[in-house]
């Protein structure tokens, strides 16, 4: 599974980094989240999907 970040929607609110810190981190400019686990390991997929679901800007998408 991969997670795609839409840079046009992401506001860097970091909800995803709180839910899945081994999958996401804020970029150097602290404005756009980056995926640091690509592909997402099986043991982190549940948390990553929760982050996709909870993103307030709907900036994350999961792909198989």
Instruction: Say if residue 1 is exposed, middle or buried (CB neighbours under 10 Å; 0-12, 13-18, 19+).
Output: middle
| Beta bridge partners of residue 5, listed in sequence order | 60
More confident residue, 27 or 6: 6
CATH number of the domain within which 56 lies: 3.30.70.20
Range of the domain at 51: 2-63
Residue 35 contacts residue 23 (beta carbons within 8 Å):
yes
Q: Quote the pLDDT of residue 27.
A: 75
Q: What is the pLDDT of residues 10-31, one digit of tens each?
A: 999 999 999 999 999 997 776 8
Give the integer Cα–Cα distance in Å for 43 and 22: 11
- Report d(CA 45, CA 23) in Å as an integer: 9
Averaged pLDDT of the chain: 95
With 80 as the cut, is the pLDDT of residue 63 above it? yes
Q: What's the average model confidence in pLDDT over 40-64? A: 97
The total number of structural domains that make up the chain: 1
């Amino acid at each position: 599974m991969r997670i795609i970040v839409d840079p046009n929607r992401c506001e860097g609110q970091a909800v995803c980094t709180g839910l899945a810190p081994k999958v996401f981190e804020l970029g150097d400019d602290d404005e756009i989240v980056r995926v640091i686990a690509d592909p997402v390991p099986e043991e982190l997929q549940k948390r990553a999907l929760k982050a996709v679901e909870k993103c307030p800007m709907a900036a994350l998408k999961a792909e198989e």
